[in-house]
Amino acid sequence: MAAVLVALGVLLAALLLKPAAPAAESTRAAAPEGDAFEVEAAPDFDPTEIESGLAIPDSLGEAEETEAATEPTPAPASVKERRAAAPPAAEPAPKPAPPPRVDGDREYKVALDKLRAEAFDPAIDDFEEFIARFPKSEHLPGAYLAIAEAHVGAGRLDEALGAFVEVQSRFPNARESAQATYRHGELLMRSDKRDDALEVFDRAATRFPNSRWAPLALLAKASIQMAEKIQANDPVVGGRVPTALITYRMVAELYGSTPQAEKALRRLAELYVDEKRHDLAAPIYEQLGKSFPDNKVDAWWEAGQLYDRKLKDDQRAIAAYRQVPKSSRNYDSAQKRIARLSR
């Protein structure tokens, strides 16, 4: 009997010391809350199975696609954060339809590339199709202008002239109209219609004074005035002068920082010399030398010569000669004049 009791005690002790069985997977998976979900995910956990990512609509243009593609991908959230942020289960809402494209950026760029490649007729076809498909696009004035430029490239000047006029008529206040007006004047000059060209260039400069075409139009206007020998009274000179002198002065005063100002200053100084107004010409040469150091007329030398030989102003002559760059062919002569005038 004692032996039986000992055996029963050993068996009972073994049962009490046996480790507990692990919890079933279904118990962990079903737990909606608790610290157990802050542990790291199992090695075979794939976050991409949960994250939705971005779906780029095909209707977006290249610029929008690029912008979306270059946005940094957010770091994966923890399991707990994803569960906390997840809305209650519901039927997914249908995705809204992408907004209709009205600008036609891609088509416009393709047509421009053809124009740059001098495929003029295909470019015209593309721009005409663009105009029909995207009548509200912000690129519409540019499309009409591009058609005109394509006709110029193809040598169809009459068609180009009509197309430039159409741009001005349809879009009178658009920036493209400034270019169309200037190019209209150029074509009239090619046809030797100087009076008409003079009027068009004047309109380009007057209506679009802040465009880059304004100083170009004024230079073209001055060239016609010189060719036609047009005269006008000038209160600055004090008498009748070539009207081009007044126009060149306008370019120098209004557009002094533009490349066109270099030519205007040079021609203005030369015309002042022709009028024997050396007192006006010398400061213009100085301005040319200051604003455009690489000018082709050696402006500081010319200023020094006028102060030296014509105006007999030794101090200003010396100051101008000192500005003559070493790269000038007149540099040595300028140094000699400085030495002589400094005695």
Residue 60 — φ and ψ, nearest 5°? -70, 150
pLDDT computed for residue 318 by the predictor: 98
pLDDT computed for residue 308 by the predictor: 98
Residue 292 CB burial class (10 angstroms; 0-12, 13-18, ≥19)? middle
Model confidence band, residue 83 (pLDDT cutoffs 50, 70, 90): very low
Residue 103 CB burial class (10 angstroms; 0-12, 13-18, ≥19)? middle
- Give, in degrees to the nearest 5, the angle at Cα 81 between 78 and 82: 85
pLDDT tens, residue by residue, 34-72: 332 222 233 332 222 222 232 212 222 333 333 333 333
pLDDT computed for residue 19 by the predictor: 43
**CA 297 – CA 282 distance, rounded (Å):** 13
pLDDT tens, residue by residue, 100-126: 555 799 999 999 999 999 999 999 999
pLDDT computed for residue 25 by the predictor: 39
Residue 73 — φ and ψ, nearest 5°? -75, 125
pLDDT computed for residue 90 by the predictor: 56
pTM exceeding 0.75: no
**CA 52 – CA 46 distance, rounded (Å):** 13
CATH architecture of 229-343: Alpha Horseshoe (1.25)
Q: Mean pLDDT lowest for which of 34-38, 67-71, 80-84, 175-179? A: 34-38
Average pLDDT, the chain: 80
